[in-house]
A = this chain, B = another copy of it.
């Protein structure tokens, strides 16, 4: 994996991919599948997601105050469903899912070696919209994995129905460049 520029993180999440979120409290770790997330700001890269208190991951997030948002390729669709079907309360999901945890640089939660990208995140606000279980996070370090053959992201329609990213549409000639940070 290699560095990915923080100012460009929005490009990874703006298309709405399924993500795998890893957490750790220093003793236990977990990974869960999630689609309810959005970009909040370009720089510093800020995101929001919904993580239910019913998830074991949420208790680890509360303790560790950080997580990794990993973006899998479409080849990991089955792993994403399996990661979402069981609770990390009962078992370390890394022990039976084909996902390799790697040490992160700035947070305690692991990176996922098989992901297209990994975003190390720290919690900046989990109180203001606690009623909706919304968490605001800042991305403090980003990685991309150029070695994966599968480059298409995975998108969820619910109930185990997904699609892979399809045909590219380039309208950059029409786009007002001043609207977004350049690398």
Contacts and interface: CB of A to CB of B under 8 A. Distances in A.
A134 interface: yes
Q: How many copies does the complex hold?
A: 2
B38 A37 contact: yes
Given A16-B35, A41-B132, A170 B175 contact: no
Given A14-B35, A81-B171, A164 B166 contact: yes
A20 interface: no
Interface size class of A (residues with CB under 8 A): 35 or more
Interface of A: 8, 10-11, 14-17, 35-41, 46, 48-50, 74, 77-78, 81-82, 84-85, 125, 128-129, 132, 134, 136, 152, 154-177, 179-180
Contact of A166 (B38, B50, B152): B152
Contacts of A156: 14-15
Interface centre among A78, A82, A172 (most CB of B within 10 A): A172
Given A84-B176, A129-B134, 7 more contacts: A8-B158, A11-B158, A15-B155, A38-B50, A81-B175, A82-B174, A160-B173
